[in-house]
Amino acid sequence: MTEPAPYTEADLSLIKRIIPHRYPFLLIDKVRDIVPMKGAVGIKNVTCNEPHFQGHFPDMPIMPGVTIVEAMAQTSAVVVGISLNVVDRDLLTYFMGIDKCKFRRKVVPGDVLELHVTVKRGGGKIWKFEGRALVDGELACEAEFTAMMDLQD
């Protein structure tokens, strides 16, 4: 395995160099506290302009739970990209499983979602993570998830 890339934080520009997601499905704005092979904290600034709020729900916008889990997964993919030093390479990430998923609080426009992800198992193609999404220190969602990492080049 190559040495991890020398980043402890990823702004939007670096995130786009690691994962292929783009609007309207790029669900993280920043990743901080990156520790290769260990974890990081993703940041999602929830705004009323996001397309899913048109239908979920028009009079009471609530971030769909599956997009919260996806934001945790995108944060995890950035951790993998840094850990495997594959910045500017074509890394695809595929969900394989979601376990022990619980939603504890609504996430609404104006919230800043902190996505705390921890690597439970990694290093090869199959990685397992534990994620906790918080708003103002309050737990909004927790889940374990497994993903396959596929380097295209």
Give 9-64 pLDDT, tens digit per residue: 999 999 999 999 999 999 999 999 999 999 999 999 999 999 999 999 999 999 99
* Active site residues per annotation: 56
The CATH number of 12-63+92-151, from 3.30.2010.10, 3.10.129.10, 3.30.70.920, 1.10.1670.40, is: 3.10.129.10
The verdict on whether omega for the bond into residue 57 sits within 30 degrees of 0, i.e. cis, is yes
The sign of the CA dihedral 30, 35, 36, 37 is negative
* pLDDT tens-digit readout, 79-135: 999 999 999 999 898 999 999 999 999 999 999 999 999 999 998 899 999 999 999
What are the φ and ψ backbone dihedral angles of 28, each rounded to 5 degrees?
-130, 145
**Domain map (residue ranges) of the chain:** 12-63+92-151
Kind plus residue range of the DSSP H or E element containing 35:
strand 30-35
